[in-house]
Amino acid sequence: MIGNDKKIVQAAELIKHSKHAIALTGAGVSTRSGIPDFRGTGSGLWTRIDPMVVASIWGFIEHPQGFYDWIKPLSKTMLAAKPNPAHYALAELETLGRLRALITQNIDDLHQRAGSQRVLEVHGHMRQATCIRCYYLADAKPFIEKFIADDAIPTCPRCGGAMKPNVTLFGEAPPVRVLYEAQQESEKCDVMIVAGSSLEVMPVADLPVVARRHGAQIVIINNSATPMDKQAAVVLREDVVIALPKIVERVKQ
């Protein structure tokens, strides 16, 4: 076997013989579910609009309508999206006892919907929303569905302040507890699977560096180059929806 087939076998063997394998996923895992990448060339959301205007905490505080107008089509897409074979493959690895944790940069909830149980969402999620004035916490779905229906900015039922989805905007720190867990998992793992991430966004991009520093083998599955390629044991230039199911099938043999 040559090329990617050989690398599939190498990746599977590393996972089969690992004692503490984890995964780190980025936007490339969800693009095949129809959710656009934020940074992709040509199709990336940030190539068409200034993120500091619509997706920063300062922009949200000054003009929440701008944020909600921008996120409305993306919210519709995420609500309609379904997990793809890459999501299901990672969930199956966990079910098989081969994956201890899944760290994701994605906010779409697709890993959980595919069956993954231990998901560390380092950029937050859309399941809850918090009032920026009184910090009232609530289920975000009714607010988002109402906004999609009538374009009214979601407001706090207690004080009338704008409700912000619990996603990490520019200018905000990632959720501290989740990031700490991700750091701990990166230090403990002996194999880290990096899938669909260009490893450009800090502090998440530093997690494979931490893992490698503590002796872990890195498996990278991504269509484009990453800063960690030279330090990885296996680098697969193949679509995650093709590569991950193949790896899982090989692990099961």
Query: What pLDDT score does 41 carry?
Result: 44
Residue 137's pLDDT is 96
- Predicted structure pTM score: 0.90
List the domains of the chain with CATH numbers.
Answer: 1-35+83-123+173-253 (3.40.50.1220), 37-80+125-167 (3.30.1600.10)
What is the b/e burial string over 12-42, where b = at least 16 CB atoms within 10 angstroms of the residue's CB?
Answer: bebbeebeebbbbbbbbbbbbbebebbebee
Cβ atoms within 10 Å, residue 145: 13
φ and ψ at residue 215, rounded to 5 degrees: 95, 5
123 is catalytic: yes
The whole-number pLDDT of residue 44 equals 44
Among the listed residues 185, 180, 196, 193, the one whose alpha carbon sits nearest the alpha carbon of residue 247: 193
Measured CA to CA in angstroms, residue 236 lies from 10, 16, 215, 232 at distances of: 10, 18, 20, 10
Residue 192 dihedral angles phi and psi, to the nearest 5°: -120, 125
The yes-or-no verdict on residue 214 having pLDDT over 60 is yes
Q: Which two tokens stand for residue 120?
A: 């560390």
pLDDT of residue 2: 52
- The one catalytic residue among 87, 123, 125, 214: 123
Confidence of residue 73 (pLDDT cuts 50, 70, 90): confident
Higher pLDDT, 62 or 38: 62
